[in-house]
Structure 1
Amino acid sequence: MNGLEQFRLDGKVALVTGAVYGIGFAIAQALAGAGAKIAFNCLDAETRDKAVADYKAVGIEAVGYVADVTKEEEIIPMIKDIEETLGGVDILVNNAGIIKRIPMVEMAAEEFRQVVDIDLVGPFIMAKAVIPGMIKKGHGKIINICSMMSELGRETVSAYAAAKGGLKMLTRNIASEYGEYNIQCNGIGPGYIATPQTAPLRTEGHPFNSFIIAKTPAARWGTPEDLQGPAVFLASEASDFINGHVLYVDGGILAYIGKQP
């Protein structure tokens, strides 16, 4: 196999957690476009049914599950059902996550634990659930959606930065522990992406909007579509000798010190 054929995902099963809109939906759409069968999870049946309809509207027959990534007792049956109905997970994208923007000294320990539980423990549970099947298949791809906060700190995001920094190291450890089984675990670190969650920050004249555009060499916010090519690459045979790496899709922010005032 050579050239563009390396990027095809025909016959592969991709499970993208929390892929009901935004980044997760865009990544699932790209994987489907490369030939993969799509499964996703979310927290309630109403959201699942709406997402299934949204996928169908763009020509994708996705299979949706109601399952919480922090609860092994819900994840294990989901993985078993995927194995029985679709053929087992070849590609796992750990996309589900939350952020709470609260100054650290005002943040309750329970709020901190909630962020870490979803953003770090969830990917651990998901990876633990799919790795045995990947070992049996003789291959597997795990893509963890990390963050620039895997590398940087910022005001009000102590829990998120701690979780995403931990996710970077979990990515490296999965690669270290299971690389011999032809399982590659890598991360994607999005920059500031235009999604419904960031819409209030992107209004004209908002100081944060101006800050991000000035700090990004690309001089714009990213889009979910900017993550599609990197996701297909890391899910495909084109990345078979790449393991434990975090690919930052940030328009150059991490490389840039900023303009002199």
Structure 2
Amino acid sequence: MTSVDLTGRVAIVTGSTAGLGARFAHVLADAGATVVVTGRRTERIEEVVDAISRRGGSAHGVRLDVADPASVESCLTEVTERLGAPRILINNAGIPDAQRAHKMPLELVDAVLDTNIRGPWLMATGVARRLIVAETPGRIVNISSMAAYHYAGNGAALYATTKAALSRMTEALAVEWARNLINVNAIAPGVFESEMTDGMLERVGDIAPGFPRKRLGVPEQLDSTLLYLVSDASEAVTGTVIKIDDGQLPR
């Protein structure tokens, strides 16, 4: 893991009660950040906060449903009042669709759009608003997906669409806030071991043999890129989407 010192910086990680989000929370805490663990499952929030604390890190838990604008505003207000304006935001929360596009009920369409697009937008703009008022630089990292660039027709068309939008949102907001020293970048993982991937593999079976390296990615392979994008080392890097897929997919 890259040696990065984030001491004194508050970092919010959305969807950090499991999977990649929980990993990101631990990595940032290990680097010295005060991490805000968020999610809809209160008991899981407490578990992650306790685990970080046992490792000597600093963590606070705040319930957050990114699909609910009131919940977003409440979370950001609580964090700012308790800890100060967050210098780091990891927009990780997301949900799959797992259905054919023409069969998706409107409720699922709305849920995917609200969670994968509107939620990250509201979180990013809410954090940026506070940083601009405080005249403080910041780092926003959106977790996109290689599905934004390659879709094989496997029942995730809306998910792929939302991740493409998230990548473009990264580029646009980077331009918007460059003058405010707020860097906005994204990571686009391929198929990594996670709670979401487990559900997909249950439906489609083991896909690792079809990849050039015959394996899935593991979460720790994202650590160094995450730390780079939130650190001072990436001061001039903004509006960039870094693809990390172990060579799984075509370009």
Q: TM-score if structure 1 supplies the norm length?
A: 0.87
For residues 138 and 196 of structure 1, the distance between their equivalents in structure 2, rounded to whole angstroms, comes to 35
Residues 61-95 of structure 1 show CA distances to partners (whole Å, capped at 9, x for unaligned) of: 31111121122222223212212222220000000
8 Å Cα contact 1:72/1:125 also seen in 2: yes
Stretch deviating more after TM superposition (42-51 or 244-253): 42-51
The Cα shift of 1:144 comes to: 0.3
Residues 158-201 of structure 1 show CA distances to partners (whole Å, capped at 9, x for unaligned) of: 11011101101111111010111111100011111112333366
| Gap change, CA 1:218 and 1:98, over 3 Å in 2 | same
| Gap change, CA 1:159 and 1:201, over 3 Å in 2 | closer
Correspondence for 1:222: 217
Q: Could you list the runs of 5+ residues in structure 2 that have no partner in the other structure?
A: none
Alignment of 1:11-30 (within 5 A): 11-30=8-27
For residues 216 and 68 of structure 2, the distance between their equivalents in structure 1, rounded to whole angstroms, comes to 34
Q: Which runs of 4 or more aligned residues in structure 1 lie more than 4 Å from their structure 2 counterparts after TM superposition? A: 200-203
SS at match of 2:58: coil
- Work out the percentage of aligned pairs sharing the same amino acid: 31
Matched, 1:247 2:237: no
Correspondence for 2:122: 125
For residues 26 and 163 of structure 2, the distance between their equivalents in structure 1, rounded to whole angstroms, comes to 24
| Gap change, CA 1:21 and 1:58, over 3 Å in 2 | farther
Matched, 1:81 2:78: yes
For residues 112 and 220 of structure 1, the distance between their equivalents in structure 2, rounded to whole angstroms, comes to 31
8 Å Cα contact 1:16/1:95 also seen in 2: yes
8 Å Cα contact 1:17/1:94 also seen in 2: yes
Stretch deviating more after TM superposition (113-122 or 81-90): 81-90
Matched, 1:72 2:69: yes
For residues 102 and 179 of structure 1, the distance between their equivalents in structure 2, rounded to whole angstroms, comes to 38
- Paired residue type of 2:140: I
8 Å Cα contact 1:171/1:187 also seen in 2: yes
The Cα shift of 1:109 comes to: 2.7
| Gap change, CA 1:60 and 1:8, over 3 Å in 2 | closer
8 Å Cα contact 1:30/1:229 also seen in 2: no
Alignment of 1:37-116 (within 5 A): 37-116=34-113
For residues 34 and 44 of structure 2, the distance between their equivalents in structure 1, rounded to whole angstroms, comes to 20
8 Å Cα contact 2:29/2:52 also seen in 1: no
Correspondence for 1:195: 194
The Cα shift of 1:246 comes to: 0.7
Correspondence for 1:144: 142
Larger Rg: 1
Q: Could you list the runs of 5+ residues in structure 1 that have no partner in the other structure?
A: 257-261
8 Å Cα contact 2:67/2:111 also seen in 1: no
SS at match of 1:11: coil
For residues 243 and 58 of structure 1, the distance between their equivalents in structure 2, rounded to whole angstroms, comes to 32
Residues 83-114 of structure 1 show CA distances to partners (whole Å, capped at 9, x for unaligned) of: 22222200000001100211112112331221
Aligned residues: CA RMSD:
2.1
For residues 240 and 166 of structure 2, the distance between their equivalents in structure 1, rounded to whole angstroms, comes to 12
Matched, 1:167 2:166: yes
For residues 59 and 50 of structure 2, the distance between their equivalents in structure 1, rounded to whole angstroms, comes to 9
